[in-house]
Amino acid sequence: MSASPPASSPAASNGSEPIGAAFILRKAVLSALVALGLFSLMVGVRTEAGQSGQLEYWTRFGELASLVGAVFVGSIVVELLRLWLGPRGGLGSFVPSSVNSGLSVAGRYVAPALLIFTFLVPVIFYNQRYILDLGILVLTYVMLGWGLNVVVGLAGLLDLGYVAFYAVGAYSYGLLSTTFGLSFWICLPLAGILAAFWGVLLGFPVLRLRGDYLAIVTLAFGEIIRLVLINWQDVTGGPNGVSGIPRPSLFGIPLTPGPDGLAALLGIPFSPTHRIVFLFYLILALALLTNWVTIRLRRLPIGRAWEALREDEVACRALGINITTTKLTAFATGAMFGGFAGAFFATRQGFISPESFTFQESALVLAIVVLGGMGSQLGVALAALAMIGGFELFRSLEVYRMLVFGLAMVLVMIWRPRGIVGHRSPTVFLEKSKSISSDLVKEGHG
């Protein structure tokens, strides 16, 4: 399927060229030739190091032939499908419009339903530790996604180093609590403030950068933070990380089996699940705080300035908006939420090391934001659920997990190029809030 040249699809679909058996056959032969070229070395010849280190190779023409044949047949099938589905351009039309409009109607009820369900998860799945842990993980990424959404979705600043703020938050709590014995509830705001501070520090040098250049510098920033964590052994413990980070308490009441513990105070038998449920509601509260603040900020002048910045920076300057402070507040706000999430991560794990803060994490969070639809709160939540939960769902597929997962992502992006929830809802309206098509909304290039 991937080997069929997509460039010729408009010609095939708009009917300007007669689609006959010859046309389909020609495309199929072309696709097969491309496949032959691609696979002849990858599949057709197998090389291996022999016993004495010499190169051994043998040919696998049978496999090669079956692959090329599959591409040939597949190409014909795709063309026939296209013919059958009528003259509509693009693969997006494979999804009927009724499904799309049905989704937008359902969209109104998805958010409240999802919220109620999330609140009930610990009740429904009380005895299923695996589901609760997964729920906590998903909510952590929902929160990270919402935090990054401020920077990428609203302000349009492509940030590839978001994990740096997650790390700053985690290490802030980890080090402050193990060194000075500060409690989680004091460290949480401190972690947010420190992360916001680093957000501003990152913001200053990249103020004049846009698009790809901004992305590269933020990427480097994320790596710098990680390398500092690895190499500054005296403070951060280097690759060994920080261990023995205190677990959170319910405003001073520890969730332990001892006589001071919450279970003893309530007069109920102790169960380790209490702590998991507590953590679940803690990250849910933090995520909802992020959501609430973001929704409020969007309706305030600062939020509108972020979105205006994404739409047109030059026009912003002409309207007297200070680009510098607007960009820095976006970086700081996003970083602060990343810091909160980091502090939560540290208290949940009880152990942190630089390994948890690789580029992979940044990429994952960014993928959640892009997949969800930049700027959309609901979309990001759904995308986090799909990315983290879906990845677990495919666990039974073992080695094919990544393949299936990648394919699913590609399909979603073909179906909805601007994310699951691509449209934008206005922040203020006179009579009726009309959602704005994603075609008009800029993606932002820094």
Which residues make up the interface to another protein (CB under 8 A)? 293, 296-297, 300-302, 304-305, 307-308, 310-312, 314-323, 329, 424, 426-434, 436-437, 440-442
With respect to another protein, which residue has the nearer C-beta, 22 or 318? 318
With respect to another protein, which residue has the nearer C-beta, 395 or 432? 432
Residue type at position 307? E
Q: Where are the beta strands (DSSP E) in 224-308?
A: 242-243
- What are the CA-CA distances from residue 393 to residues 139, 148, 380, 381, 403 (Å)? 16, 25, 19, 17, 13
Q: Please report how close the Cβ of residue 237 comes to another protein at its closest, in angstroms.
A: 37
Angstrom distance (rounded) from CA 368 to CA 382: 9
Q: Please report how close the Cβ of residue 416 comes to another protein at its closest, in angstroms.
A: 17
Q: Please report how close the Cβ of residue 10 comes to another protein at its closest, in angstroms.
A: 24
Q: Residue 286: name the closest of 213, 197, 405, 191 by CA.
A: 191
**Which residue in the block uniquely carries the two structure tokens 């969007």?**
298
User: What single string gives the DSSP state of each residue in 66-104?
Assistant: HHHHHHHHHHHHHHHHHHHH-S--SGGGGS-HHHHHHHH
Helix, strand, or coil here: 425?
coil
**Which residue in the block uniquely carries the two structure tokens 């009820």?**
109
Q: Please report how close the Cβ of residue 306 comes to another protein at its closest, in angstroms.
A: 10
Q: Please report how close the Cβ of residue 431 comes to another protein at its closest, in angstroms.
A: 6
With respect to another protein, which residue has the nearer C-beta, 284 or 297? 297
With respect to another protein, which residue has the nearer C-beta, 2 or 322? 322
With respect to another protein, which residue has the nearer C-beta, 293 or 408? 293
With respect to another protein, which residue has the nearer C-beta, 180 or 429? 429
- What are the CA-CA distances from residue 98 to residues 95, 416, 436 (Å)? 8, 15, 19
**Which residue in the block uniquely carries the two structure tokens 């994490």?**
361
Q: Please report how close the Cβ of residue 133 comes to another protein at its closest, in angstroms.
A: 33
